[in-house]
Amino acid sequence: MIDQAKSIPSPQRYLLHLAKSHPTFRIAELDSCACLYGFGIRLLATGDHYISGAYQPSSSNWGHELGSTSELEDAIGQGDSALLVIEFTTGQGVYKDSQSACVPVVDTQKTDDWARLLTQRCILVKSISHLFSPIPSSPNYKHLHDYMTPRRELWQRNEDEQKEFAFNLTGINKKIGFPRQRETIEGFAFMDLTSKINLKKPEVTYMLFEECKSSRHEDSSLDVDNLDSDTVAKGKAKLEEAVEGVKPLRVFMGSLVAYGQARQLVYKFAVKDRKFFGNTSMESEMSLLMAGQTLADQGKLVYDPFAGTGSLLYVCANWGSYVMGSDIDGRQMRGKGRQMCSVGRRPSDVLIELPRVILDKTGPGVFRAANQYGVRDKVLDCLTFDVTRNPWRRGEVLDAIITDPPYGVRAGAKRLGRKEGGKKKQILEPVKLPNGLWSHEMPGYIPASRPYEMVDLVYDLVVFARYMLVPGGRLVFFLPTFTEEWDPVDVPVVEGMREISFGQGSAQDYNKWSRRLITLEKVKVVDEEGKAKKWDAPTFVPLEADFTGMAINDGDVSGEEDAGPRKGQKLPGHANFRDKYLAGFPSSAPSTPPLRD
């Protein structure tokens, strides 16, 4: 057995310890990193689930076999386990069932480098280790010891057993007290490690993970409320003991390759410490996950058409990209301070309105925050214009578009123009002021705007991205959806844009609604002459369908209105999102009464 393992070099398998937050973003993040640096990843197991073919025989049968990679993707997305086993392959990105088979890479030096890249780039990765434990995991320490004892080569590679070492025992979903840690570590005496222990600067760190049931689950044995009164009375020490007594669901072991370096960026970019932010600024962890999806890198150009306070710009700039932002309302980007606008003239000497460009002498907000993060150089410019009347001269210039479009709850999306059908009498522009000047040429002029329906916005955004992106460029944006009505077809499908998603897709769940992170990649489309197809600039004409009033129809508790003229017509999950949100997402199922506030 041992001889066989030695003669045929087997690919090194890696154990990833992941953060528990945002499990549905895990694979997407790994995939983006792999795509950026050009290596492949094959997912093998998580928790006690593994895909067929990855199993390693051990003394007892353990774990649940899954038939396909997509089932494993779902299991990872559910986030029941913080640990994931992968191997590196040829190809690019995370392996999918639809792809042609990828060959595992055997060169450990190469795969170690790739693992380190993951720790530098992926903010959800806490550590990566060489896997010692069997796939998918061990149900207890005895199982792990029995598996490891005949496989000494695991820890005797590269004379690792002679290096100064340390053990690190991590309890997941529970704390492990020192006596228990010591006892557990001493259980590994069979490894015959004769070298010195060095806890401060070990050359090799053996990582042990003990995973318990998450307290999120209803049947949690850690539920403090359910402990009987005796236990509570005996105080904290007793409680700890009770916690310690919980049997681990599974244990994992490996030797450390690297701790996650990128995770600390979540603290670096924390909104509360930022010099400039607004009430709709994106939290740092989510901005970083989005930035990862754009494949932002040195010398790329990333653009945010709904920049707001620029949260997404700083994180992209952090990876070395040049960034540009625009917003219909420059006040969002400027913040308090002197307002600047530069009005130009076109050659024929007729005054026209130009994009107002903000200055940073007194420090418009976006630049102040960029300065704080040391990325002032990377923020090229911030422009004020309506993206539906954008001034871009040509397409195919951007490497990525990243945006969190306002979806009408805290801030509504707006486009230039006047709202129709209002009661108020509307003033026709241009207006000449008493002093003989045009109102729209005065500093501080704010043009009239009207709501920008979500359905139009999302479709426009995708078509706009197809026009502006270079082939292979990515569009990353959030789509709010009424969870109950979510359907993958809600993402507009246009020729030339391909969606990248894993499992059920990446979503941040707020119970009744969720926001989904959509990643679309521009693919090269070849026309009849064999040339890469060039796309026309979008027209930004509102879609034909009339969505007004549908929310009321749609959200009706009785569901009888379904028999109306719109029966059978699929509405995107984000249509009239604001109305539904404010109505408390009335459920279409009769059993649950709608929340109305």
Site residues for another protein per CB under 8 A:
298-301, 322, 324, 338, 340-348, 352-355, 357-361, 377, 380-381, 383, 385, 389-394, 396-397
Nearer to another protein, 297 or 499 (CB): 297
In the bound complex, what is the minimum distance in angstroms from residue 438's beta carbon to another protein?
13
Dist CA 434 CA 302 (whole Å): 44
Nearer to another protein, 420 or 546 (CB): 420
182, amino acid identity: R
313, amino acid identity: L
Do 313 and 327 meet the contact criterion of CB atoms below 8 Å apart?
A: no
Nearer to another protein, 393 or 423 (CB): 393
In the bound complex, what is the minimum distance in angstroms from residue 541's beta carbon to another protein?
13
Q: How many residues comprise the chain?
A: 597
Nearer to another protein, 347 or 590 (CB): 347
Nearer to another protein, 174 or 466 (CB): 466
Dist CA 110 CA 178 (whole Å): 37
In the bound complex, what is the minimum distance in angstroms from residue 301's beta carbon to another protein?
8
Query: What is the residue whose two structure tokens read 């509102």?
Result: 542
Q: Is the dihedral of CA 492, 494, 497, 501 positive or negative?
A: positive
Alpha carbon 264 to chain centroid distance?
Answer: 16
Nearer to another protein, 29 or 327 (CB): 327
Nearer to another protein, 541 or 589 (CB): 541
Spatial neighbors of 235 by CB under 8 A, at least 6 apart, are: none
**Residue among 365, 409, 358, 383 at smallest CA distance from 304:** 383
In the bound complex, what is the minimum distance in angstroms from residue 21's beta carbon to another protein?
33
Spatial neighbors of 122 by CB under 8 A, at least 6 apart, are: 29, 30, 33, 260, 262, 292
In the bound complex, what is the minimum distance in angstroms from residue 317's beta carbon to another protein?
12
- At 509 the three-state DSSP class reads strand
3-class secondary structure for 100-131? CCCCECCCHHHHHHHHHHHHHHCCCEEEEEEE
In the bound complex, what is the minimum distance in angstroms from residue 477's beta carbon to another protein?
21
In the bound complex, what is the minimum distance in angstroms from residue 425's beta carbon to another protein?
23
In the bound complex, what is the minimum distance in angstroms from residue 380's beta carbon to another protein?
6
DSSP 199: S
Dist CA 39 CA 34 (whole Å): 5
Structure tokens at 99: 């792809």
Nearer to another protein, 335 or 503 (CB): 335
